[in-house]
Amino acid sequence: MTAPAPGAPAAFAQDAPTLLPVNATLGAVLAVLLALAVTVVACARLSGDGTRARGRATALAGARAAVQLAVVALAIGWVARSGWLLCAFLLLMYAVAARTAGRRITPNGTWWWAAVPIAAGVAPVVLALLLTGLVPPTGIALIPVTGILIGGALTATVLGGRRALDELTTRRGEMEAGLALGLLEREARLEVARPAASDALLPGLDQTRTVGLVTLPGAFVGMLLGGASPVMAGAVQLFVLVALLAVQAVAVAGVLELVARGRLHRD
């Protein structure tokens, strides 16, 4: 059994290895939960076209998550020992996020512009953390922190981009009216798309406002299970939430600007 971290309650250190054992029971529970999610999505036809197609997508997402996490769990220790491999792994994370976000926003060749708001949000924050020494340049620390920030930027970019383009489609007449009144095309698009795109910030805002009262996010729970003290876990979670607010704000502003300038579109 691992020794408890300094200042950590003994109960956390003792219970951590047994709270979520990796065994057949865990596998069975995960399979049942995934089957439940697939069944509900398919039966309720929770997809944009009213079909059961998203049930299959849910099943594939769960299977992919299991395979990818298994690969990462096996490879992360090896990757963390080499600076070049660490950089390559971080770039791979970024490339996958950019492609995923872009394809969610638009099917045409402008999808690659989604890489810009993700980088604009994540890169300055990660650089600041490294320069201040808050995050050491080691794989074990840098990979999870960067992954959390890239994931937050991905979500904000997808929501902001999709909402902005959807709004421009449904309210095209209002945009054309703005052009008739003398607005520049960028300004007319911003007037229509900005309120909808800004809704992409709501999930992050709600999570930050209700943390500790409604939910205990992953970083907090993970550190407790790892034997850290509640104070340390709370500090790390606060850092993650505030960093995500900054990253998502930049990402939403960036994708909105790209849509307004016509760089990211569905034509």
Residue 165: pLDDT over 90: yes
Q: pLDDT value at position 14?
A: 41
Query: Residue 51: its pLDDT value, please?
Result: 81
- Mean predicted confidence (pLDDT) in 185-189: 89
pLDDT tens-place string over residues 13-35: 344 444 567 788 888 888 999 99
- Report the SS3 class of residue 215: strand
Task: Give pLDDT, residue 3.
Answer: 42
d(CA 154, CA 203): 13
Query: 228 vs 257, which has greater pLDDT?
Result: 257
User: What pTM was estimated for this model as a whole?
Assistant: 0.79
pLDDT of residue 239: 86
Over residues 158-178, the mean pLDDT reads 90
CA triplet 25, 27, 30: central angle to 5 degrees?
110
Query: What Å distances lie between residue 102 and 111, 124, 171, 267, CA to CA?
Result: 4, 21, 22, 14
- Give percent above pLDDT 70 in the chain: 88
% of residues, the chain, pLDDT over 90: 42
Average pLDDT over residues 138-166: 91
